[in-house]
Structure 1
């Protein structure tokens, strides 16, 4: 990991980005205290663990017969409800 003051980072942005591109981490200091880190981007595989749940495919809870709409099923269910 490379640590450098903000003024030095500003003067050498391109070189620092080259280091990050090669896999290095660059820590930027302001008044001697760390304020930021530049880290390489890690490409996540398209494996289901990294895919949000709302993007994952799912199986319907019930399957409707052909020609029977979900709205019709909802209305039928409401009519059959004891409430």
Structure 2
């Protein structure tokens, strides 16, 4: 793990991101106290939440009477 100050991080941000891509962790200090850590994303963090995953098949609701939503709308007009 590399530890650097905020000022140094600003000057060498691209280099630090490259180190993180290579699997290293970078800890950023402000006034000698840790304020952030740069780590590569894990597999768990990169997956999409369930509500953002694409629907693979059309969403179909089966009613007990066999009518579709479109049929009910047409009948209601």
Alignment gaps of 5+ in structure 2: none
For the aligned residue pairs, the C-alpha RMSD in angstroms reads 3.4
**Structure 2 counterpart of 1:39:** 39
Length-normalised TM-score, structure 1: 0.55
More helix by share: 2
Is the contact made by 2:29 and 2:36 (CA closer than 8 Å) also made in structure 1? Answer: yes
If you compute each CA radius of gyration, which structure gives the higher value, 1 or 2? 1
7 and 53 in structure 1: CA distance in 2 versus 1, 3 angstrom threshold: closer
Length-normalised TM-score, structure 2: 0.58
Aligned partner of residue 37 in structure 1, secondary structure: strand
Q: How many aligned residue pairs are there?
A: 71
**Structure 1 counterpart of 2:28:** 28
